[in-house]
Chains A and B, each alone.
Chain A
């Protein structure tokens, strides 16, 4: 049962900055890129990196995520030894047991799970980033340097550095200091929230951290600083390639648009057969295009029926765009219907929403101070000729002809 490497994927976050998109699902289960969910990226990375044992820590609205992961078969993680395990918080003897109080506490509560596999190394991942990464390469660096902890970092600009947790390193890339959102950054190496720990070390730090009532039980806030204070070997692993946090409406929209840049080497190419992104997809026939369809620079998925104009957009399965409808720079999640004459621009429309005839949702960027991406929540009906303003967050039906 012993495994060299076990990955723990923190998927309990509510994703409150995605507002209506996470009112029914946890952030990692939010649909992404036409065919995927956010969690497909770290799970596929695990599979492609040869990690066959993954714990997925869930807490907020776990039902859809649980059924999505299922046996782990799409990611080849349905194993008799190891495989993917959903790890919700649970009660212990007496009235012990709590919700996961923080990222470190989530792992602490699952020490028992990790002990089953008695790994040498634990990879800590989060379920809200879009990237392709070979974790095995990071583990190699960790082993070679004899580190207690290796932190994956991305080079950002100095301006951006003020928004990230920044690792200050010496000439060997050993971390000597960690600063959360520094006003005057000393380095441009931003933590990506991906860690490799030597399990025996981390295990003890988690136990000590739990014993400290003042701790907020968080990796970034507590565990990493504590390990630095104790002069543990902490290494920065420089990641190169596409990486995007999709924790906000804007960044989620951006990252979806990036999926269209399949020829851009800096983008994330889902067509690359050497690093496939796996997903669990419902059974749908090929999509059909009608006489009036006009499709350009867009992703389209099975079961769609397109007879209108679709440009610069990402369409998930079973989307219907009727004749005379016009969809620009938008993300239409599974089963969205855009009826005749409707216009959808710079919007994210969630699963099963219906945009009525001649309705207008969102608008191209303008000088208006509150311009932004419009969001229509799942299952919402926008009536005929209704108008949804840019930057609106629509959670309830909008009646025909009304403005929201």
Chain B
């Protein structure tokens, strides 16, 4: 894929995710036992043969930097091209977060000028999806679209956060509604676009001059007739994260074999930072049922219906059900957790009882001692 450049927006953190995004940008939210959300889009790009990727960041991106490093775990540590982290440049006088994707692109306009590929794919880095990017690009070229937009037929977001489209029989988008009150359309936009570098630069310049900061509302919506906006429908699993309960639900969905198979498709593997973890050890009295367990754990207690991340320790006599434990959580003996999300490095001491509910899981902040 020599002719496609990848851009990932990693510049929003969602207040609705509460404790989970306080220490980080949504893109570096841990998910699925060993991943950060950005791993999915990065892997999608790399698996399509994309060699040059720019990640647009704005603030609280330290954990993201830690995670992606030089990009070597995604084969993006290269002499030519490779991974670039793009913090805001010359944006200081305006201050505040980027107001939208066009605003963010304007913030890195110099970088865009120097892209050596003819086409660019743009996506947010805060969703879990395994996309056939090579196929999307091929369709973009074949249909001669100005812009190709990736859509999903299964609504994954809440209407007030999402964008919906209607398409004609050729797949051309005929109607686009941004953040409607109710979703009556069949397709949700994933806000993933393929566009030529030339058109993108023209649009960024235009938006900059007219203070337009959103691609969908500011560019696509008013130009639906003028621009050939084609849809690409992705039927597979998509998870978008807009609340703590939603995060919990999407985590639990990983226990469904079909979702696991789609998201972790071995032909398009999801790459992540290599921690050189050991295998997971199950002790003599361990129990593990209907759970997803990453490497490097020591499990001597009981685990059921749960997502267990790398380096978690569950002592003998401890019981974890319907929970999501992030990296290095330690559950001491006799403790009992149900419907709990523990962030990284949480310590739950002996005999503690923590309980949330499926509709209101209890989220415990990074590094807490219970």
Contact = CB atoms under 8 A, between A and B. Distances in A.
B255 interface: yes
Given A33-B279, A276-B276, A315-B279, 16 more contacts: A262-B298, A284-B269, A285-B32, A286-B32, A289-B289, A289-B293, A290-B290, A293-B288, A294-B287, A296-B282, A296-B283, A297-B282, A300-B280, A301-B279, A301-B295, A302-B294
Interface in B268-318: 269-272, 274, 276-296, 298, 303, 308-309
Nearest to A306: B288
Which interface residue of B32, B257, B295, B296 has the most chain A CB atoms within 10 A?
A: B295
B87 to A, nearest CB: 27
Interface in B33-89: 33-34, 72
B111 interface: no
Nearest to A318: B266
A300 B303 CA distance: 15
A63 interface: no
A74 interface: yes
Contacts of A300: 279-280, 282, 293
A395 to B, nearest CB: 27
B215 interface: no
A288 B260 contact: yes
A302 B270 CA distance: 13
A300 B280 CA distance: 5
A226 to B, nearest CB: 41
Interface residues of A, number: 37
A279 to B, nearest CB: 7
Interface in A263-290: 270-271, 276-279, 281, 283-290
Contacts of A298: 281-282
Nearest to A269: B278
A300 B298 CA distance: 10
B264 interface: yes
A260 interface: yes
A45 B268 CA distance: 33
Which interface residue of A281, A284, A286, A314 has the most chain B CB atoms within 10 A?
A: A286
A270 B297 CA distance: 12
A292 to B, nearest CB: 8
Interface of A is mostly: loop
Nearest to A295: B282
A286 B296 CA distance: 10
A73 interface: yes
Given A283-B269, A286-B33, A299 B276 contact: no
A287 to B, nearest CB: 6
B251 to A, nearest CB: 12
B280 A301 contact: yes
Contacts of A85: none
Contacts of A284: 266, 269
Contact of B34 (A285, A290, A297): A285
A132 interface: no
Contacts of B278: 34-35, 270-271, 277, 299
Interface in A124-165: none
B295 A296 contact: no
A285 B260 contact: yes
A297 B284 contact: yes
Given A73-B72, A74-B274, A287 B280 contact: yes
Interface in A220-276: 260, 262, 270-271, 276
25 contacts: A34-B279, A276-B276, A281-B276, A283-B269, A283-B270, A285-B33, A285-B34, A285-B292, A286-B293, A286-B309, A287-B293, A288-B260, A289-B290, A290-B290, A291-B290, A292-B289, A295-B286, A296-B282, A297-B284, A300-B280, A301-B279, A301-B280, A302-B294, A306-B288, A315-B279
Contacts of A291: 289-290
A265 to B, nearest CB: 16
Contacts of A293: 288-289
A260 B257 CA distance: 29
A299 B281 contact: yes
Contacts of B279: 33-35, 270, 299-301, 314-315
B285 A288 contact: no
A302 B288 contact: no
Contacts of B264: 285
B286 A286 contact: no
Contacts of A283: 269-272
A292 B288 CA distance: 9
A299 B280 contact: yes
Contacts of B281: 260, 262, 271, 298-299
Given A285-B34, A286-B33, A296 B284 contact: yes
Contacts of B291: 288-289
A283 B43 CA distance: 11
A267 to B, nearest CB: 12
Which interface residue of A260, A278, A289 has the most chain B CB atoms within 10 A?
A: A289
B283 A286 contact: no
A260 B274 CA distance: 23
A35 B296 CA distance: 10
A260 B282 CA distance: 9
Contacts of A34: 278-279
A35 B289 contact: no
Nearest to B303: A289
A297 B298 CA distance: 10
A278 B279 CA distance: 12
Contacts of A287: 280, 292-294
